[in-house]
Amino acid sequence: TKHFPVRRRGRAALTGPRRAVQAVDDVTLTLQRGRVTALVGESGSGKSTVARLLAGLYPRTGGDIKLHGETVNIKHGKAFRAYARRVQMIFQDPFASLNPVHTVRYHLTRALKIHGRAGDDLEKSLHDLLSRVQMTPPERYIDKFPHELSGGQRQRVAIARALGADPEALLADEPVSMLDVSIRLGVLNLLRDLKERLHLAILYITHDIASARYFADETMVMYAGRMVEGGDSETITQNPAHPYTRLLIDSAPDPDRLVGGAAELDPGEVPAERGAGEPPSLIDPPSGCRFHPRCPVAMERCKTDLPPRFEVDDAPGHWAACWLYDGAAR
Ligand code: SF4
Ligand code: MG
């Protein structure tokens, strides 16, 4: 859970009730090595905040992070550094995440040194990292500056830098949405290949549910800071249970398109926002089910009662936080 306090000025700061943006509320997810888990939602749904919480970049308002069943004490410097090394983040904009005045060599050397992995033969370690991300021959790229590389190559360098830590998990926040459509698939395929060869757990954050179907083993859907549906990607995209997931799929330009189909969308444009209504304010989110003001099949109880996760019995592990699946009521 992550709530950001809202700062106010003047009298209201002293007298009014404390307010907070309830950006992430009671989100639970498990990453597994060798699997890609997609976290899908429109902008402002809290999905990037989840990644930052997992990376330890924000303090949590509540909840725990566990690694191999052990609670991680992210306030304890040494324990946090050990954890942070296992869990590496990849950001949306590879140009912003690389320092323009430094070469590929510098970025990768620094990552290896920070994580104590520079070894006796640094040159070989650097070449190995570049080969891992299919930048071959490595000599062609190693002394280049970020501006001398394409967007896709820059993202590959960012991935290589993350691999420099020898992580168990990658947290990839919209890793291809700023790249040209023609190269998105290549970068996703690279991540999938790395998942298999290095047995990585990958959290894939995206607003594009069609790409989740293509790329992720498991898909979780977020709406207004809460998780609303989860299950294997095929089930979620072919047989969505939650009314919000249906809206997300129906309002995508072409439900069967793969990654390339997002061609007509500007970066950051979110298909779901073409659906009815707008996402709610998270300062004062709707009571009950947060989706109820937009939900075409909302019932009376939805306005007051928060739906827990209910099993959807069409596939193992499929669940929806929606009163339609309340077994007791059926
Ligand atoms: Fe719609 Fe109610 Fe289900 Fe929420 S709980 S998605 S309002 S039917
Ligand atoms: Mg985001």
Best mutation site among 294, 297, 300 for ligand 1, i.e. most ligand atoms within 8 A of its Cβ?
297
* pLDDT tens, position by position, 211-226: 999 999 999 999 999 9
What's the pLDDT band for 228 if we cut at 50, 70, 90?
very high
Number of structural domains, the chain? 1
Q: Is 316 left (phi over 0), alpha (psi -120 to 50) or beta?
A: beta
CATH of the domain at 281: 3.40.50.300
User: Per-residue pLDDT for 306 more than 60?
Assistant: yes
CA–CA separation, 189 and 182 (whole Å) = 13
pLDDT at site 330: 55
Which residues contact residue 190 at a Cβ distance below 8 angstroms, ignoring those fewer than 6 apart? 133, 134, 156, 159
Tokens of 14: 């002293």
| Ligand 1 pocket, residue 329 CB under 6 Å | no
CA of 291 to the centre of ligand 1 (A): 6
From the CA of 47, how far away is ligand 2's center (Å)?
A: 6
Segment 246-252 shows an average pLDDT of 87
In the chain, the amino acid numbered 107 is H
Question: pLDDT band for position 120 (50/70/90)?
Answer: confident
Average of per-residue pLDDT values in the chain: 89
Please state the pTM of the whole predicted model: 0.89
306 lines ligand 1 (CB under 6 A): no
> Does ligand 1 lie within 6 Å of residue 321's CB atom?
no
Higher-pLDDT residue of 265 and 56 is: 56
Ligand nearest to the CA of 267: 2
**Residue with the two structure tokens 């949590």:** 60
Residue nearest to atom 5 of ligand 1 (CA): 322
DSSP state of 268: T
Please give the Cα distance from 318 to 303 (Å, whole number).
24
The whole-number pLDDT of residue 188 equals 96
Q: Is 319 in the pocket of ligand 1 (CB under 6 A)?
A: no
Residues within 5 A (CB) of ion ligand 2: 48
Q: Is the ipTM above a cut-off of 0.90?
A: yes
Q: What is the pLDDT of residue 272?
A: 40
- Range of the structural domain that residue 25 is part of: 2-329
Q: Answer yes or no: is the C-beta of 122 below 6 A from any ligand 1 atom.
A: no
Instruction: Calculate how far, in angstroms, residue 97's C-alpha sits from the geometric centre of ligand 2.
Output: 15
pLDDT value, residue 53: 93
183: which 2 tokens?
């190269």
CA–CA gap between residue 9 and residue 23 (Å, rounded): 22
